Amino acid sequence: MSTEDLVASFLSPSEQVKVALETQISSDNNEAEVINVLSDEKETRILAVISHFDEWSMTEEGCVFVCSYKHLNNGPGSSKDLHIQRAYPIFGRFAISMAQNRRMTLDVRTGAVQPAAQPRTGFSVTIHDPSIRVPAHTYCTDDVKKLQQFVQECKRLKELFEAPEKTEKQLSTQFVWMAPYVNELASLSDLLSDIPPDLRIVNEPLIDRLSHCNAGLPGDDIADLRLIRDFWIRTKGQELCLKGSYRLSVRIGTFNVNGKLPSQDLSTWIGGPASLPAVQGDFPSLGIYTDETQSTKAPDLKHLGPMNSSGPCPSFTLPRDESDVADSGPDLLVLGFQELDHSAEAYIYTTNAAKEDAWCHAVIAGLGELGPRYDKLISRQLVGMFLVIFVRKPVAPYFTDVKTGAVGAGLMGVMGNKGATAVRLTFTPKQDDREGVNTPKSTVLTFVNAHLAAFDEMVDRRNVDFHDLSKRLIFETRVEQEEEIEEGIDASIPWIGLFNTDALFWLGDLNYRIDLPDIDIREILSSKIWENKDGIMQEHDQLIKSRRTGKAFTNFHEAQIRFPPTYRFTPGILTDGYNSKRKPAWTDRILLLAGPTVKIRQLSYSNHPKITMSDHRPVLADFEINVGLWDIEEHEILMHKLMRESRHMEEAVGRSMLKVLTPTVDFGKVHYMRPAIRTVKLQNTGKVPTTYRFVPIHGETSIHPSWLRIEPMTGILLPDDIAEIAFTFFADNVAARTLNLSERALKATVILHSLLGKDHFISITGEYQYTCFATSLERLTRLSGPVRTLNSPLEYLPDHRAKNAPREVMRLVNWMMAGSARVENLFFTPAEDVYIHSIRECLDTGDEFPYPPGSEDDRIHLAFGATLLQFLESLSSPVVPVFIHERCLQATDRDEAFESLDAFPSSSVNAWISITAFLHYICRSSQDPVLRAKRLASVFAPVLMREERAHVLNPISLLGKQRFILYFID
Amino acid sequence: MANKQYQFKLVLLGESAVGKSSLVLRFVKDQFDDYRESTIGAAFLTQTVTLEDQTTVKFEIWDTAGQERYKSLAPMYYRNANCAVVVYDITQASSLDKARTWIRELQRQADPSIIIALCGNKVDLAARRQVLQEEAKKYAEEEGLMWMETSAKTGEGVTEVFTAIAKKLPLTAPPPRSGRNVAGARTGVDLNKQASGQGQNESCNC
């Protein structure tokens, strides 16, 4: 294969290779090689003159590509590969200069051309880019004949461009044909950069990053194409190159020390929880993370990303003396301190070495016999904020390129009383560790220790602080000119953003509080009555709410908190007693944001009440980080290959090559809370790769109805590829509230847009099975029969014949009246789904329950209890409407409480009375009626008097609600 | 001298199986397929017509699905269209009724300046004609539409339809031709009009 043919093999058909000249990079070139030169080919550059003829304007344009060879050096069958390194459009200031230079040395290596046959002279060619900002590059060649052709072609194309009749051309049309190649160059330099992409972008679903468009109004298909392609190449590249993973254990702690010096043994904190694996089940790994705080869980959808695939990839641990039981500590110990120094000078002088040293010594001492096995790797202090990382000695060499940053966010936005310090580490597996991985890819870990604005009402300030720190915390890069020029990386980036990392841990005194009345928090904390007290209070935690509403820490993960608030205590006293001056709060937190190159499992999240020297209690979390192992060279070659495979997509204009093999999806009978999955198959029947995305019908609406999920929403199909898209029906409470009032027959159309091509319609049908859940009490009292017997969802009884209470509530209560009272843990112990489903089905159909009342089996009773609670939670509006909550809480005795029933809607009164009467009945038959009543009231208060999340600005006291219910059941 | 170039959005509407996709295929690629699968979706194609004065008109053509079940999606494709070709099958009387429905809808819902051409396809099957020329022509005249008969199979009248439309389009303000980004370039369409039409809600779309 000639050099010309080789170059032509990776061009679009509309481009022609005029000359391909083989050269060596010049020794006095500023394009110096940084890699060890193993063969001549590493220094070889092909200079190719490419011409493009545009039939529309009948013009010819040209460019010069500088290409280099790449070899996959394992195995004899490996083929040569050319990568474009540079592209010069031939116009304007583009110029070529030549010089004859005398060859100083002879090539006498074996296999080289006989010394006598080697020409004594060579020519050097220097290419000057049209843009003067790009430096000129020089190459050497002996091939005089080709060089002449090369120069002639360049001259011809330049003259052609400058011909007077061509100057009228619109500038926008010039060299557009080069765009794919230049885009590829830009994409590849992004994809191959050793700076990871921004985690905030990586964690946003790809479909949300694409341009806005809808049916009939395509967005920017070319830009979308590039985004989808780059995502595909990145994902696929990692997937195919993944050789295994390294397991790193990282322990992270945060402690606001309130200006104190260490006066206690820190081992109870940094020594970690007594038994690690015991809590594993509570902390799902990030790859399959579902937010536990959500009331209803969606089914797990297929996740992309290589680290989620459970392939046979081996997992490696770092050097550790397995025989030595003492050698069991984490690889990294990361500790963030706040308020290290309260002294006035601290605000002027940014570091106080004495306090730093005292704490570092205390940490080493706290590690006990593990202490001598650790070294301090790095630390960074800014006034009171001090972040320090200790590393297990044998793994220290794996961490390089350590950078730190610090930013103040307090008074005037610059003083260091609030703010953050950060450390960025690069983890690189050792080259000699694994066979087949000569140049292992690095992984970047970043840690932020922050202290955000204080006080209850300052939640917005804290959110602003977060965004401010996110923007201003940056790391300086060392500038290595040669490397950057060689790889085509933009040398003008002098710093790296905080989020350009593979994993970001954010710890510190974030100062978020709980939006509940002070008395509620103290009562709930000290009482033995409240079940799931942490869960109830976390509903009102400002950080969790900010995260959920996207105001700050969007896409960050935090394990469920299963420890009491860590603030504010009276220092030195070992009790659970919170200081009376501040509302107790979970101020001290550890959060995580990770990309697809790592898989992280959180093993623990705990507080440490024995460390009492401060007004805060320290918090600790253990993580297992699985870092992917890739070979950089192999990865790079594969990326180029994938780029080439996915090329020509731009040529797809107007050709319909994507075929939807399943244009209709029928879900059949579908039920509330029961996912149903169907597969839609696509095929690329054309000859070039094709890309698709789903688009909304109208600009304002979403792509699909709320009961439907589609995964994946974007994709690439190479010629002949068949792709499967999962369509999942899932009716949660929100979706079911609409479905219950709609036609039984589901009908929807979704639009799959092939980029630069057709819109395909996929029609979806199904038969929804009505449920009495997720509707209103009012509607249930007006229905002529069980929901499943209705012909239409709007088949109502006339007003005067409305039921006085929903039959579904009465059926549940009646069943439980016969014998459930004896089950002491009714409503407190979770029940089995299979029974709950069957009870719900009977409520919907009107069938008899398959379980006789007064059953011997406690599990059945628990299931009835759980069904009642779930039913109440699913209602579109709570039994007690939000607007009368305040009035209810004003009741100071039983009579007033009963009087407030006048304000209840008629459909609620009887449901309320029958439920509370039943609760009253089971309390009376209890051994400790008062305690049981309080416990029941604490469970039913948040359910019967539920508040929609949007209205919790000024929450009504939970204790007040509990008291109100007690007037009825005690 | 540089030629003047214009770009316009054209939408094809009409009952299923009257030959919308075949008309486009004949116009864009000069091909014909006896057994075409019915369109489930909307295909986007472009074709350029050069007029006698060397002006070129580039059509962005949306060929839509004719099936009744997808009727609700049609407005997405005819909004902002500068011209519409409503097709019926001369061998199916009912298809002209359907065409009338489409035309009524366009007159009510589409851009008021839209140019509508009524097109009777399949004249190669004149032996089985059910729709008289007079009848269709009279209707077109009443409604102020362009009217002609075509055969996608033989090619008869196809180019003429599009050329006639091109001649009737308001060729003012020559928009520049804009490179590869065919779909993104919507010259010939008044973007401001679209923005004001959607009113204040536009901001949520950004």
pLDDT tens-digit profile of A124-167?
Answer: 888 888 776 667 888 888 888 899 999 999 999 988 887 765 54
At residue A748 the predicted structure's pLDDT band, cuts being 50, 70 and 90, is: very high
- The CATH number given to A3-29+36-101+121-192 is 2.30.29.110
* B84 and A CB contact within 8 Å: no
Rounded Cα distance between A183 and A82, Å, is 17
Residue by residue, DSSP assigns B138-152 as HHHHHHT-EEEE--T
Q: Is B79 at the interface with chain A, CB within 8 A?
A: yes
B71 domain residue, yes or no: yes
Cα torsion A189, A194, A200, A204 to 10°: value is: 60
pLDDT of residue A484 exceeding 50, the answer is no
Contact list, A690 vs chain B (CB under 8 Å): none
CA-CA distances (angstroms) from residue A696 to A311, A577, A807, B29? 35, 55, 41, 30
Section A463-480 average pLDDT: 84
The full DSSP string for A205-263 is -HHHHSPP-BTTB---HHHHHHHHHHHHHHHHHHHHH--EEEEEEEEEEEEE-TTPPP-
- Kindly state which CATH superfamily the domain A802-967 is placed in: Rho GTPase activation protein (1.10.555.10)
Predicted confidence band of residue A277 (pLDDT cuts 50, 70, 90): very low
Residue B180 to residue A176, Cβ atoms within 8 A: yes
Quote the CA–CA distance of B44 and A300 in Å, as a whole number. 36
Q: What CATH code is assigned to A637-768?
A: 2.60.40.10
Question: Does residue B48 lie within any of the structural domains?
Answer: yes
Peptide bond just before A584 cis, omega within 30 deg: no
Query: Do A719 and A683 form a contact (C-beta atoms < 8 A)?
Result: no
What are phi and psi for residue A524, nearest 5 degrees? -65, -40
For chain A, percent helix, then strand, then coil, each to nearest 5?
35, 25, 40
Of A166-175, A184-193, A300-309, B65-74, the poorest mean pLDDT is in: A300-309
Give residue-wise pLDDT tens across range A839-863: 999 999 999 999 999 899 999 999 9
Indicate which CATH number applies to the domain containing B138. 3.40.50.300
On whether any CB of chain B is under 8 Å from the CB of A682, the answer is no
A214 and B76 within 8 Å at the Cβ level: the answer is yes
Which among B42, B180, B201 has CB closest to A216?
B42
Q: Is B46 on the interface with A (CB under 8 A)?
A: yes
Strands A137-141 and A419-427 come out as unpaired
More confident residue, A650 or A226: A226
Asked if A355 and A382 count as a contact pair (C-beta separation under 8 A), the reply is no
* In chain A, % of residues over pLDDT 70: 82
Between A514 and A106, name the one with better pLDDT: A514
Domain-embedded: residue B173: no
CATH 2.60.40.10 domain locations along chain A: 637-768
Instruction: Name the band, by pLDDT with cuts 50, 70 and 90, for residue A27.
Output: low
Assign A483 a pLDDT band (cuts: 50, 70, 90): very low
Give the CA angle between residues A33, A37, A38 to the nearest 5°.
Answer: 155
Q: What is d(CA A357, CA A341) in angstroms, rounded to the nearest whole number? A: 13
Interface contact flag, A168 B2, Cβ < 8 Å: yes
Compute the nearest-CA separation of B129 from chain A (Å): 32
Query: What is the structure's pLDDT at A938?
Result: 92
Of the candidate ranges A75-84, A87-96, A929-938, the one whose mean pLDDT is the lowest: A75-84
| Residue B198 pLDDT class (50, 70, 90 cuts) | very low
- A909 burial (CB, 10 Å; 0-12 / 13-18 / 19+) is middle
Q: Exposure pattern of B143-181 as b/e (b: 16+ CB <10 Å)?
A: eebbbbbbbbbeebbbeebbebbbeebebeeebebbbbb
Residue-wise over A675-711: b if at least 16 C-beta within 10 A, else e?
A: bbebebebbbebebbbbbbbbbbebeeebbbebbbbe
Residue B106 belongs to some domain of the structure: yes
pLDDT tens track for B95-112: 999 999 999 999 999 999
Number of domains in chain B: 1
pLDDT value of residue A499: 96
The answer to whether A282 contacts chain B (CB < 8 Å) is: no
Residues 164-193 (B) with a CB less than 8 A from some CB of A: 176-184
A201-248 confidence digits (pLDDT tens)? 999 999 999 988 888 888 888 889 889 999 999 999 988 988 888 899
DSSP state of A796: B
What residue type is A472 in one-letter code? Answer: R
Residue B137 lies in a domain: yes
Asked if residue A314 has pLDDT above 80, the reply is: no
- DSSP symbols for A445-513: EEEEEEE---SGGGHHHHHHHHHHHHHH-EEE----HHHHHHHT--TT--EEETTBSSEEEEEEE----
User: Mean pLDDT, chain A, as a whole number?
Assistant: 83
- Do B41 and A759 count as a contact with CB atoms less than 8 A apart? yes
Tens-digit pLDDT profile for residues A798-816:
888 888 889 999 999 999 9
Residues of A in contact with B80 (CB under 8 A): 217
CB-CB under 8 Å, A173 with B179: yes
Q: Looking at the complex, does the CB of residue A666 fall below 8 Å from at least one CB of chain B?
A: no
Query: How many interchain CB pairs under 8 A, A with B?
Result: 91
Interface of B with A in 16-35 (CB under 8 A): 28
Q: Is residue B23 part of a domain?
A: yes
Residue numbers in A near B42 (CB within 8 A):
215-216, 758-759, 761
pLDDT of A313 reads 65
Is residue B84 included in any domain, yes or no?
Answer: yes
Identity of the residue in B43, B73, B205 whose CB atom sits nearest the CB atom of A758:
B43
With residue A21 as reference, give the H or E element that holds it: strand A15-25
Domain extent, residue B87, equals: 5-168
**pLDDT band with cut points at 50, 70 and 90 for residue B197:** very low
Spatial CA neighbour of A888 closest among A939, A954, A944? A944
Range(s) for CATH 3.60.10.10 in chain A? 245-271+328-476+495-512+557-629
CB contact under 8 A, B46 and A654: yes
Cβ distance of B76 and A749 shorter than 8 Å: no
What homologous superfamily does CATH list for A245-271+328-476+495-512+557-629?
Answer: Endonuclease/exonuclease/phosphatase (3.60.10.10)
Cβ–Cβ below 8 Å for A172 and B178: yes
Asked if B40 and A760 come within 8 Å (Cβ–Cβ), the reply is yes
For residue range A562-611, list pLDDT tens digits in order.
Answer: 999 999 998 876 666 788 888 999 999 999 999 999 999 999 999 998 89
Go through A806-825 and write b for each residue having 16 or more CB atoms within 10 A of its CB, e for each that does not: bbbbebbbebbbeebbebee
Best mutation site among A165, A175, A749, A764 for testing chain B: the one with the most B CBs within 10 Å? A749
Asked, for residue B52, whether it belongs to a domain, the answer is yes
Number of neighbours of residue A778 by Cβ within 10 angstroms? 16
